Structure 1
Amino acid sequence: MRLVDLLGDEVLGLRLVGEVPSDRLERSVTGCSQSELMDPSPYLVRGELVLTLGMGMNVRDVRTWDAYVERVVGAGASALGFGLGPVHAVIPEGLAVACSHYDLPLIELPPEFPLIKLSRHVWQELAAERYEIARRGWELADDCIHEATEGAPLTQLLRRLSDTVGGRVQLLDPAGFEIGAAGEAQQQPARTTRARLRLPGGEHQHFQLAVEARDETMLLQPLLGPALAVVAMQLSYTLTARSPMHSQSAGVFFQALLDPRSDTEHQRAAAVSTGFAVEAPWDAVTVRRPDEVSLATLRLLTWRLRVLLEREYARVRFYDEADRATLLMQGRRSDRPLGAVLAEVVDAETGLDVRHNRALMFDEIAVALQVCRRAPLQAGVAPAPVVDLLSLLGGLPRAGVGMLARRALEPLADAEPVLRETLEAYLETSGSTRAVCERLFIHRNTLSYRMRRIESLLGVDLEDGEVRAVLLLAFRLQAAA
């Protein structure tokens, strides 16, 4: 209910005394309070209509009226209603001057008009409005339920809430980080309603909806409360369901990128369809979770990173899996180190492993991601392992390559341990007799004897460079397995 509605009600017969800015009459009335105190401010609520008969206010000093109005305005009153009757036959001039000075609407009640009558009217109108708001709130919840059952993403529900309040809504995680938003900020912040509404459910993970509404007196809790339960359920499903969060086009691209059977042309076409420029530099982030960390924790951090990186890059795409997530970015907007950007939202205490690469070329991406995916888990933010031939060994499947390495060196398993030690030293020193003897503290003849036994057991010719390369690789793979 607005002041202009009260003044326009012919049955009430109220009259505005003097002139006030038109926007003051558009303000909503949140309640009605009757008081004959010279300082009613401790008992007033912002937006209330204050009613008085002016009892005990037979004063001529303008300063007294000025102080009275100043206190009423300071308490946030929407207007002052003054009843005429035995106490005051007309509006005191000092009161009218003070109200005009503070732009407080001064409403004259007809002679002998019971204040309780106007108070009841205001409260009845407010009750009707609250009922209407509650009805709209349940209708909004029904709409959200329908959209959620149709598979609408969480962002679509936020847009629905934003349209309802005519402002901006932000979904905040327990750390206060924005993980979703819709709507534009209001142009006149002083005329808006701001509130943080807690989403129902969860004993420890308290998500909130920050709302900035167009109306400074909009009742947000009854309007949005029922819909918040739907948002909470959709959020819970998003964070815990086995279904992926990534888009279909992003999924096709990442699967092509990580499939060793996929050809380069198919990978490039998938990258272009996802919105990337193939020849431009790429940055990458991989997030992995150990078994003891929940899927919800992984997805929440992935969500945070996506929102954060979308501020830093022109294009961000991600691929969601049960135990990891991968993000690829292009079009960096700042020169801040990527590790420092990630550290803003990554808490090492969660146990998640976050690795990052900078300035990759397209042909390097698949290799770089495979190396990150197979590197040892390390909680916190860290640069990805350097992509070179040695790092590729650590990126290969450990169980399979370990078996191949053991098979290549198996004939030495039952022989004297010194033979394995001798062969490894021989390979690492490129077959230098002197270097091997100095390293193992043995004579040249002893080395020759051992090398003949090794060749016999393995059935190889160690003069062959390819044989030496294969055996050295077997030692490295066993060490990495």
Structure 2
Amino acid sequence: MRDLVGDPELGLTPYGVPEGTQGPISWVHTSELADPTPFLEGGELLLTTGLTLGGSAWEEYVERLVGAGVAGLGFGVDVSHSGMPPELVEAASRQGLPLLAVPRRTPFIAISKAVSRALAADEYEDLRRTSRAQHELAGAAVGRRGLSGVVHKLASLLDGWALLLDEADTVLHSAPGGAGISVRELEPWLRRLRQGRGRGALVLELGEQWIGIQELGTRGGATLVVGRDSPFGTPDHHVINSAASLVTLALRQAETLWSARGRLHTAFLRTLLSGAPAWAALDDLGAEFPAWPVRVLVLHGSHSAEESLRLIEAESDGEEVYAAEYEGDVVALAPASANLPDRLGKRRDVRLGVSEPCGQDGLPTALRQARQAVAAASDGGGAVWFTELAGRGLLELLPAERAVGFAESLLWPLRGRDELLVSLRGWLAHNGQWDPAAKRLGLHRHTLRNRIRRTESLLGRDLDQAGVRAELWLALQLLDDAG
């Protein structure tokens, strides 16, 4: 509106509310109807000569236009009325409707063309801004800072702030360092968005801030959040969508690379445990491996295998660690002097078994040791070192052949009944406590009770006797060590 008034070629004169001349115009419409509102959408500059209006009708006419949300009224003077009708000026001033006097020399079509040119220029500028922003975001995506660079560039382009959250609503990247809102304030909206299906988006006003939330459709459930103290326009939404697409692509590429890396690690560990030469392949892949001797770590807990592998990477603190998923376990090989077991052992959500140091030839034995140790770990988390297991010193004093023969004879009735052996080992590792053992084995406690009673019947031994339990525990460890 201000631009129209400032155009000397049009010669428009504002009446009533000059400050209203700063409002935006969506289009120009001409009508001589007493009630043109059924043909309006809001935001238009309406042009009229007042052919069918006069006297007290102006009050209702202006009221209808204000109710329809028109941007302003342009009145052609000296056509149907001599000069500007005072009743119209009073009504427009009273109801806050921007009013422009259009001189007889200015055809209405000239105003329409002027607005059309201005709207086209605005659209072109929006396209230029969007294109420039997309180019800058793409440059940030391939830059040294990666995802962090994209988030910072997005915040700069929007003149606001931006957050990238993972599926647990943990902040992965933020710009600037302290965003304009806490994640806790966003929790209801994040929860609502994730209850839907597929990729979704929300725009909301919280306090004095306008906030956009967009799911990224990645397997990890990442979310992009942006905010500022003014509403987002169409170009802003284009910029946000472009950033979301770049971040989604980067995260999916990272997921693919992580998955491929995990499969390679698993394959190499399997080859290494089989005794086959595999170091040349590792060198060809450019992979790094800790120097011998190493300790084998086995992790159990509530995390998925992928989450556990990422946890190991996060806790490695620069130490050379080789981690992989192997036969249902998450296994890590760390230097014998590494502090990784101590750091992981402090977590209550992880049970950890740690082997004795070993060389390459001793890797299978070290893996068995770590598995035995983690089986003895409590549900409250923490690390169990194989050297701490009760009975270790006694086993080393027994003659190997006679001890293994005794163990095989004792457990012979359970041969081929792997589910009974696994249940017995887990139950003994938890000192005969039903609930912790059942939880660790992933069984219902009644199922575990039935298996232990079946084992008791096959062995012909009373498992309520401490001496019998000790014999069976020693026998199971002897057979594990014997391979």
Paired amino acid for 1:48: E
Tell me, which stretches of 5 or more residues in structure 1 are unaligned?
A: 245-255, 262-284, 299-319, 329-352, 354-361, 376-383, 398-402, 430-438, 442-450, 455-467
Work out the CA distance in 2 between the residues paired with 1:103 and 1:211.
Answer: 32
Work out the CA distance in 1 between the residues paired with 2:102 and 2:212.
Answer: 35
Work out the CA distance in 2 between the residues paired with 1:370 and 1:190.
Answer: 38
Identity %: 22
In the other structure, the counterpart of 2:159 is: 166
SS in 2 for 1:242: helix
Structure 2 CA distance for partners of 1:120 and 1:204, relative to 1, 3 Å:
farther
| Greater mean alpha carbon deviation, residues 86-95 or residues 409-418 | 409-418
Work out the CA distance in 2 between the residues paired with 1:85 and 1:95.
Answer: 14
1:233 aligns with 2:236: no
Tell me, which stretches of 5 or more residues in structure 2 are unaligned?
A: 182-204, 261-289, 317-329, 331-339, 354-377, 390-394, 415-420, 422-426, 433-459
Query: Do 2:15 and 2:89's aligned partners in 1 also have CA atoms closer than 8 Å?
Result: yes
Work out the CA distance in 2 between the residues paired with 1:260 and 1:238.
Answer: 29
In the other structure, the counterpart of 1:367 is: 345
Work out the CA distance in 1 between the residues paired with 2:294 and 2:348.
Answer: 10
Which residue of the other structure, out of 90, 105, 127, is the alignment partner of 1:97? 90
Structure 2 CA distance for partners of 1:154 and 1:371, relative to 1, 3 Å:
closer
Structure 2 CA distance for partners of 1:169 and 1:98, relative to 1, 3 Å:
farther
1:288 aligns with 2:281: no
Work out the CA distance in 2 between the residues paired with 1:71 and 1:210.
Answer: 33
Paired amino acid for 2:135: D
Query: Do 2:35 and 2:61's aligned partners in 1 also have CA atoms closer than 8 Å?
Result: no
In the other structure, the counterpart of 1:130 is: 123
Query: Do 1:372 and 1:395's aligned partners in 2 also have CA atoms closer than 8 Å?
Result: no
Query: Do 2:214 and 2:224's aligned partners in 1 also have CA atoms closer than 8 Å?
Result: yes
Which residue of the other structure, out of 3, 26, 51, is the alignment partner of 1:55? 51
In the other structure, the counterpart of 1:350 is: none
SS in 2 for 1:214: coil
Work out the CA distance in 2 between the residues paired with 1:395 and 1:6.
Answer: 86
Query: Do 1:169 and 1:212's aligned partners in 2 also have CA atoms closer than 8 Å?
Result: no
Work out the CA distance in 2 between the residues paired with 1:326 and 1:33.
Answer: 63
Paired amino acid for 2:384: L
Query: Do 1:174 and 1:208's aligned partners in 2 also have CA atoms closer than 8 Å?
Result: no
Structure 2 CA distance for partners of 1:39 and 1:174, relative to 1, 3 Å:
farther
Paired amino acid for 1:15: T
Which residue of the other structure, out of 24, 28, 32, is the alignment partner of 1:28? 24
Work out the CA distance in 2 between the residues paired with 1:177 and 1:27.
Answer: 41
Please show how residues 53-452 of structure 1 align to structure 2 within 5 Å.
53-61=49-57, 63-72=59-68, 75=69, 77-169=70-162, 182=175, 214=230, 219-222=235-238, 226-242=242-258, 288-290=303-305, 321=309, 365-369=343-347, 372=350, 374=352, 385-387=379-381, 392=384, 410-415=404-409, 417=411, 440=461
Query: Do 2:209 and 2:227's aligned partners in 1 also have CA atoms closer than 8 Å?
Result: no
Paired amino acid for 1:44: L
Work out the CA distance in 2 between the residues paired with 1:179 and 1:217.
Answer: 27
Question: 1:172 Cα deviation (Å)?
Answer: 7.6
Work out the CA distance in 2 between the residues paired with 1:16 and 1:233.
Answer: 52
Paired amino acid for 1:214: S
Work out the CA distance in 2 between the residues paired with 1:177 and 1:31.
Answer: 45
Structure 2 CA distance for partners of 1:110 and 1:127, relative to 1, 3 Å:
same
Q: Residue by residue, what CA displacement relative to the aligned partner does 1:101-147 show, whole Å, maximum 9, x if unpaired?
A: 33232122112422221111111111112112111211111111112
Work out the CA distance in 2 between the residues paired with 1:51 and 1:193.
Answer: 35
Question: 1:36 Cα deviation (Å)?
Answer: 3.5
Query: Do 1:171 and 1:178's aligned partners in 2 also have CA atoms closer than 8 Å?
Result: yes
Question: 1:165 Cα deviation (Å)?
Answer: 2.9
Work out the CA distance in 2 between the residues paired with 1:93 and 1:327.
Answer: 79
Q: Residue by residue, what CA displacement relative to the aligned partner does 1:299-332 show, whole Å, maximum 9, x if unpaired?
A: xxxxxxxxxxxxxxxxxxxxx845877689xxxx
Query: Do 1:134 and 1:222's aligned partners in 2 also have CA atoms closer than 8 Å?
Result: no
Question: 1:190 Cα deviation (Å)?
Answer: 10
Query: Do 1:145 and 1:230's aligned partners in 2 also have CA atoms closer than 8 Å?
Result: yes
SS in 1 for 2:350: helix
Work out the CA distance in 1 between the residues paired with 2:35 and 2:208.
Answer: 26
Work out the CA distance in 2 between the residues paired with 1:190 and 1:39.
Answer: 38
Work out the CA distance in 2 between the residues paired with 1:387 and 1:204.
Answer: 25
Structure 2 CA distance for partners of 1:205 and 1:113, relative to 1, 3 Å:
farther
Question: 1:33 Cα deviation (Å)?
Answer: 3.0
Structure 2 CA distance for partners of 1:288 and 1:192, relative to 1, 3 Å:
closer
Paired amino acid for 1:220: D
Paired amino acid for 1:154: L
Q: Residue by residue, what CA displacement relative to the aligned partner does 1:262-295 show, whole Å, maximum 9, x if unpaired?
A: xxxxxxxxxxxxxxxxxxxxxxx987324xxxx6
In the other structure, the counterpart of 2:8 is: 10
Structure 2 CA distance for partners of 1:236 and 1:469, relative to 1, 3 Å:
same
Q: Residue by residue, what CA displacement relative to the aligned partner does 1:337-383 show, whole Å, maximum 9, x if unpaired?
A: xxxxxxxxxxxxxxxx9xxxxxxxx99743244971559xxxxxxxx
In the other structure, the counterpart of 1:336 is: none
Query: Do 2:180 and 2:227's aligned partners in 1 also have CA atoms closer than 8 Å?
Result: no
SS in 2 for 1:101: helix
Structure 2 CA distance for partners of 1:171 and 1:50, relative to 1, 3 Å:
farther
CA RMSD across the alignment: 5.8
Question: What TM-score do the two structures reach when normalised by structure 2?
Answer: 0.50
